[in-house]
Structure 1
Amino acid sequence: MYLYTEQWELAEAMAHNLIDLYSLEPNLNEVFLKESTETIWQLKSGVAPRNTQEANQLVIRFIPGQKYALTQDLLGSFEKGDLRYTNWVGRLSNSDHTSTLYFPHKYKAILTETERLEYSIQFRVAEQYLIRAEARAQRGDIAGAQKDINVLRIRAGLPNTTASNLSELMDAILQERRVELFAEQGHRWFDLKRTGNANAILNALKPNWKVTDVLFPIPEAELQFNPNLLPQNNGYSN
C-alpha cells in the first residue's frame, strides 16, 4: 500500500521490518517450496493434497492446448546468464520439434505422491528488497537502492547493477521486478500502471490497445443503482 501510494519513508520502513524477519532462499529451485525461508504468506488448500493452482495452470504438459505460454518479449528481457531464466523457465516441444512453448516453472512439484510440497505464495521477501530499493531511490539513497538490487542480482548469478541515479535505478528496479516476479500476482501489469508506463509499452505490444484500457468500465448495474458514480470512466459510454 505504501509503495502504490508513494509514501516512500513508510514503504522503506515496512519492507525493512519484513527483510529483518525473513531470509532470502539461496537456492532458486527451492524458493517456492512450502518450507522456503523467504515466504511471508502462502495459502494452503483445504482439500486433499494436490498441485498448487499455479502449477496446474501454468506448467505446460502437452502441445497443443495451453494458452499460458511466456511471450518472446518476456523471454528476451532476461540478461545472459540469469539463473532465474535457467531455473524458472521451462520448455516443452512437440514430437517433431516444430513447436516449442516456454512456461513459468517456479512451481515444480507436480504431485505423484500424497504429500503436497508447495503452497500458493502471495508474498515473499524478494519483493521487499525491490520495494525498499525503490523507496530508497526515491528518497535519494542511491547506495542503499543499489545494495538491495544487487542482493537479488547476485543470487541470480549476475553482476552488480550499474544504475547510479534515480532514472537509471527506476529502470533497473522495474527490470528486476519483471524478471523476478513474472507470473506472480500480476505484478507486471500493476507496475506499468502505477509508474505511468502502461500506454507506452502496451501500445507497442497489443494491436488493439487504447490509452483508456488502463481502466475497466464501471458496471452499468452499479451506475443505475448509484448515479453518484458517474461519470463513466473515459473510453466507455455512460
Structure 2
Amino acid sequence: MKNIVLIFFFIACLSCKKYLEVEQPRSRLSRTTIFTSDATATAAQLAIYSQMESQGLFFHLPAYTGLAGDEFRNHSTFSDNVDLATNNLTASNQLVNVVWTNLYRYIYQCNSMLEGLAMSSSVTPAVKEQLEGEARFIRAFCYYYLTNLYGPVPLVTSTDYTVNSILARNAISEIYTFVTNDLLLAKGLLSTGYKSGTNTSTTERVRPNKWTAAALLARVYLHLERWSEAEAESENIISSQVYSLSTDLNNSFLKSNPEAIFQLMAVVPRFNSFPGANFILSGAPSIISIAPSFLSSFRTADKRQLAWTKSINTSLGIFYYPYKYKVGQNASSITEFTVVFRLAEQFLIRAEARAMQNKLIEGIADLNTIRQRAGLSPVNGLSQASLLDSIHIERKFELMFETGDRWINLNRIRKINEVLGPLKGSNWNETDRLFPIPQTELLRNPNMSQNPGY
C-alpha cells in the first residue's frame, strides 16, 4: 500500500505542469524506483486510471460535447458554459482547455511508463507485456479523443520536454496511423482475461484487456472507412463469448456487468461514478439538463427513454437528466463503475461495417439486436441508405450521454452541420465542429497554430 501511495504522489507530480512543458519531476520516488518490481510498476499504471476517473474525464467528455451539440441545455451563467452552449468558444475557454490538458497529461504518463518498462530488468516479462499493452491502449485512446475534438494535434511520443514544447501539429491521418499501430501492438500484448491490481485473474473489468484494445480499434477502423477490418474486430469481440448484452437496460452500467468491456473503478469517496454523481439532479439544475429537443426525438416505444433518462419536478419546472447511472453522490455502497466501452457499440459498428459492404441482411440483424432490446419492432428489407440512417439513429440513443459519442459521430458521418445548423441558428458555423486549441499552448509553443474560426 505504501508503494501505491508513493507512486500516486509521483504521478501527481507529473501533473503539476501543462503537459507540453513537463520536466522529469524531482520527487522522492524516481522512475528507477517505480520499475524495480511488478507491484510498483503496476501501481503506477493504475494511478493513471484513478486520475481519469477522479478528474472527471467521463463527465467532461459527454457534458461539454453535449452542450456544444444537441444533447444538453445549459443552465449555468458561467461565461465558459454559456459560450460552449452557444458555440461561441474562444481559445481561453477553460472547459475545453481542461480536456486538452488532461488527455495530454495521461499521454505523458503513458510515455513515461513505456520508457521505464523498456529500461527495467526487474519487472517480470508477463507483467511488462501487460503494462506496455495498457499504456499503449490508453495513449491511443487519448489521441483518438484529441484528434476528434481538436483536429490535428502534436504527436508526442516521449517525455523529453525540450522536444515536446515546440512540436507542430500532426495531420489527422498521421494521428490515426499512430493510434492504429499502438492498438495493434496492445492487442498482441494484453491478456485475454482481466487482471487485478496484483496481476491475478479477476471478474472486475477495470484494466484493459485484448478485447478492450479491439473495441477501440473497431471504432477507429469505422472512422477510417476500413469496413472489413471494423467488421472483423467487432465480430471477434461479439463471438468471443466473454460478453453479452444486459437483458435489463437498468443493469448496463453496473460494475462488472456482462456487457461491460472496460470500466473505471470508483475512486472518489462516496461516488460510484463521476458521471452519476454529476448528472443526477436533486433539485433544479444549475449546470445542465437534457435538451427538450433531444427528448422529443425519442420514439414512443423506446424503453431507453424510461430506463436511461429521469425527470425531477421542481418549483422552476420539470427537468430531465441522464439516468444511465442510478447512483448519485453520497453513495453508501459501490454498485456501479464508469463504463468506457460496452458490447452494444460493437453490434452497431458491425452493423454499419456490414451495411457499407452491402451485407444488408447481416447488418439488419445486428441493428435489430439493439432495437429489440430497446423495445422497438424489428425492421426488414431496408436499402443500404435506409439501413445506415437507422444505424445512426440507434447509435444516437444507445450511446447518448456517453464519452462524447454523439458529437464525434455527427462529425464522422458528416452530418454535424445538417443537425446543428437548424438547431443552433446563427450561432452555428461550420468551423465550430472542432474546439479551439488552448491559448496557453499557442503562447507557449511557437510552432502551434489555431483552428480556423478562432
Alignment TM-score > 0.5, same fold: yes
- 1:197 matched to 2:415: yes
User: Which range is displaced more, 14-23 or 130-139?
Assistant: 14-23
Q: Secondary structure in 2 aligned to 1:121?
A: strand
The one-letter code matched in structure 2 to 1:85 is Q
Q: CA deviation at 1:45?
A: 2.8
State which of 291, 294, 299 in structure 2 corresponds to 1:79: 299
Q: Is the 8 A contact 1:82 1:158 kept in 2?
A: yes
| Mapped partners of 2:384, 2:363: distance in 1 | 9
Deviations 1:52-78 (A, max 9, x none): 111111111112x43221112211221
* Residue 223 of structure 1, CA deviation: 7.5
Q: 2:271, 2:330 within 8 Å by CA — same for their partners in 1?
A: no
The answer as to 2:342 corresponding to 1:127 is no
Structure 2 counterpart of 1:12: 231
- In structure 1, C-alpha distance between the alignment counterparts of 2:295 and 2:379, rounded to whole Å: 20
1:171 alignment partner, one of 386, 389, 394: 389
Bigger radius of gyration: 2
Contact 1:87 1:105 in 2 (8 A): yes
SS at match of 1:233: coil
Task: Compare 103-112 and 150-159 and name the one that shifted more.
Answer: 103-112
Question: How do residues 1-238 of structure 1 correspond to structure 2 at under 5 angstroms?
Answer: 1-20=220-239, 21-63=242-284, 65-95=285-315, 99-110=317-328, 114-162=332-380, 164-207=382-425, 208-219=427-438, 221-222=441-442, 225-227=445-447, 232-236=450-454
Contact 2:277–2:329, Cα closer than 8 Å, also in 1: no
Contact 2:266–2:272 (8 Å) recurs in 1? no
In structure 1, the residue matched to 2:188 is none
Query: Structure 1 residues 16, 168: closer, same or farther in 2, change over 3 A?
Result: same
- Tell me the percent identity: 38
Superposed displacement of residue 37, structure 1? 0.9
| Runs of 5+ unmatched residues, structure 2 | 1-219
The runs of at least 4 aligned residues of structure 1 exceeding 6 Å deviation read: none
> Hey, what's the Cα distance between the residues in 2 that align with 1:60 and 1:190?
26
Question: Aligned partners of 1:94 and 1:217: how far apart in 2?
Answer: 36
Deviation at 1:3, TM superposition (A): 1.2
| 8 Å Cα contact 1:77/1:179 also seen in 2 | no
Provide, for residues 177-228 of structure 1, a one-character-per-residue CA deviation record: whole Å limited to 9, x for no partner. 111111101111001101111111111111311111112334454487343x
Aligned residues: 231
